Structure 1
């Protein structure tokens, strides 16, 4: 399932206000390095799609660093997701629960 641009923009704005997608000291630095997160849950799934019923293609562990070259978010019902890059997903785009990670 792909989120439409408006939904993704609204979610990214909401997550940014909550501190999940903050750009850091400078927008230029964030653009150069993308979005990087540290896993804070003991184990967290990387989903094929931003949906709790999607296939888990990989499992990450507390302390692992994950991320993507772009900052994207998505939502499904009450669940929020952030984009991470993974070879395990068909399109190299995996999704992790917002609550499972903190931005580094």
Structure 2
């Protein structure tokens, strides 16, 4: 319930122009890592490697993230952790090139 209240309040304040670049950055750190999807479509992988199963697809403009900031690599690919119900453990991975941190 507290997270929902916080999201509603943050949305309302953002619409009113109360949040600026400084406070938004601080809020992001308190709520973990949030990313905006850049690619037209980007897969959410079960594990952080290109041969893993894609459990979900996200689209440009979608906001994704997790309560902790984690990354992983496989060969030349970098991945960031995102929360998803579609993954067996609730942890999905997206290519870091497909997103930008907000």
**Displacement over 2 Å in runs of 4+:** 24-31
Q: Give how far 1:76 is off.
A: 0.2
Please, what TM-score do these two structures have when normalized by structure 1? Answer: 0.72
Going from structure 1 to structure 2, the CA distance change for 1:41 and 1:28 (only over 3 Å counts) comes to closer
Q: Give 2:16's aligned residue.
A: none
Please, what TM-score do these two structures have when normalized by structure 2? Answer: 0.74
CA-based RMSD of the aligned residues comes to: 1.7
Q: How does 1:2-13 map to 2 (within 5 A)?
A: none
Q: Give 2:4's aligned residue.
A: none
Aligned residues: 81
Q: Give 1:64's aligned residue.
A: 62
Q: Give how far 1:32 is off.
A: 1.6
Q: Give 1:88's aligned residue.
A: 86
User: Which is helix-richer, 1 or 2?
Assistant: 2
Larger Cα-atom Rg: 2
